[in-house]
């Protein structure tokens, strides 16, 4: 008989459920935005970690032997180099030309070749500027670190 006398638990009003659901959605959106910003951190140059690492790797095997701190210093020096921003913008413009050439009907191979040639010129300018930054970084290293770099480079060649 006691079971029949118990009253059912009061349920939360429907409006409260909606407010809680909206609050949860907002919190998840904020958490996702913060996590995304951390994971995809883009520097003042607009580039993320992948682009910066690829820029260093494009400098050849010597740059690939740098340790993490040296790579960060090199990226900093490359970002501050005169002409790097202009070269990046040029590559972006050349990429648009490549896209246009690929979409053109009828396809004109010479137009694609011209766009790729412009792209190559900008990439060469970026690589030259990056090599200057690499040489400056290595010039600041003690002789022992330069010798260790030479050893690591030789070891990498044997692999």
The answer to whether residues 132 and 81 touch, using CB atoms and an 8 Å cutoff, is yes
pLDDT of residue 11: 75
Q: Among 23-32, 49-58, 106-115, which range has the highest average pLDDT?
A: 106-115
**What's the pLDDT band for 59 if we cut at 50, 70, 90?**
confident
pLDDT of residue 104: 94
Position 6 in a domain: no
Stated pTM of the model? 0.56
Position 140 in a domain: yes
Q: In terms of residue numbers, what domain contains 79?
A: 22-158
Q: How many domains does the chain have?
A: 1
Query: Distance between CA atoms of 104 and 119, rounded to whole angstroms?
Result: 18
Domain holding 48: CATH number? 1.20.120
Position 114 in a domain: yes
Position 17 in a domain: no
Position 12 in a domain: no
DSSP string, 46-108: S--HHHHHHHHHTT-HHHHTS-HHHHHHHHHHHHTSTTHHHHHHHHHHHHHHHHHHHH-SS--
Name the average pLDDT for the chain. 78
pLDDT of residue 140: 95
Position 1 in a domain: no
What is the average per-residue pLDDT within 4-12? 69
pLDDT of residue 62: 87
């Amino acid at each position: 008989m006691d079971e029949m006398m118990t009253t059912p638990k009061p349920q939360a009003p429907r409006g409260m459920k909606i407010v809680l659901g909206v609050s949860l959605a907002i919190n998840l959106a904020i958490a996702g935005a913060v996590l995304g910003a951390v994971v995809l951190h883009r520097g003042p140059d607009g580039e993320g970690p992948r682009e910066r690492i690829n820029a260093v790797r494009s400098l050849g095997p010597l740059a690939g032997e740098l340790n993490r701190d040296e790579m960060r210093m090199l990226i900093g020096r490359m970002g501050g180099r005169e002409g790097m921003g202009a070269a990046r913008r040029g590559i972006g413009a050349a990429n648009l030309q490549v896209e246009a050439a690929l979409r053109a009907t009828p396809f004109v191979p010479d137009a694609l070749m011209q766009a790729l040639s412009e792209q190559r010129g900008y990439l060469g300018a970026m690589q030259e500027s990056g090599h200057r930054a690499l040489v400056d970084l290595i010039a600041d290293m003690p002789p022992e670190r330069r010798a260790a770099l030479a050893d690591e480079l030789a070891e990498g060649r044997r692999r």
